Amino acid sequence: MAQKQEWSASGVDCCSPFTSCLLSWCVPCIQYGRVHHRLHKDSQLKGWSVFNGDCCAYFALSCFGCQWIVQLMGRGEIREKYNLKGNGCTDCLCACCCMPCDLVQQEKEIVNREATNLINVQPNKLEAQNQMAYPQQQQPQQYQQQQMPQYPPQHQ
């Protein structure tokens, strides 16, 4: 089994990026929806909508003070997917004690890890693309340079 890695983003650095910070503190249900979409669907948020099922579930649970449960589960999924250090106890502490900071950390972690994966995978994609057959392109046409006629200067 591979050794567990440290989280690339600190939980106390929750003020940047500012958009994530603002969403996490003011409308955490929307931020949770973003994090869940990045984790399960598309890390670049393609196809994401502000009003989605995950956002609504988080909001409904927050009405009863139970939103920390889905946040804790999401944190565990991130740890498992990226082989990160931690356990259920640390997940619970992060999700319960500082929900906004935890949401920012989760989003940053997914963005950082997916960017690293993209960099590692990209050269292989380029090699595969270079082996594809491309349609033959037309040869560029050569144009003859034309001389512009010389007009005598006009006096006014």
Contact assessment for residue 99 and residue 28, using Cβ atoms and an 8 Å cutoff: yes
Listing DSSP states for 102-150 in one string gives HHHHHHHHHHHHHHHHHHHHHHHHHHHHHTS--PPPPPPPP-PPPPPPP
CA 39 to CA 90: how far, in whole Å? Answer: 20
CA 90 to CA 70: how far, in whole Å? Answer: 15
Q: How far is CA 95 from the centre of its chain?
A: 21
Q: For residue 77, what pLDDT is reported?
A: 96
Q: For residue 130, what pLDDT is reported?
A: 53
Mean pLDDT for 2-28 is: 87
The yes-or-no verdict on residue 147 having pLDDT over 90 is no
Q: For residue 142, what pLDDT is reported?
A: 64
Is residue 17 reached through a cis peptide bond, with omega within 30 degrees of 0 on the bond before it?
Answer: yes
Contact assessment for residue 103 and residue 71, using Cβ atoms and an 8 Å cutoff: yes
Mean pLDDT for 24-53 is: 91
Q: For residue 8, what pLDDT is reported?
A: 87
Full-model pTM: 0.72
Q: Which two tokens stand for residue 141?
A: 């046409």
Question: What is the sign of the dihedral through the CA atoms of 53, 59, 62 and 63?
Answer: negative
Mean pLDDT for 85-114 is: 92
Q: For residue 138, what pLDDT is reported?
A: 63
Mean pLDDT for 121-140 is: 56
Contact assessment for residue 61 and residue 95, using Cβ atoms and an 8 Å cutoff: no
Q: For residue 71, what pLDDT is reported?
A: 94
The yes-or-no verdict on residue 81 having pLDDT over 80 is yes
Q: How far does the chain reach from its first CA to its final CA, in angstroms?
A: 90
Asked which of 18-22, 31-35, 47-51 is least confident by mean pLDDT, the reply is 47-51
Q: Which two tokens stand for residue 153?
A: 């200067």
Q: Which two tokens stand for residue 89?
A: 């106890």
| Amino acid identity, position 79 | R
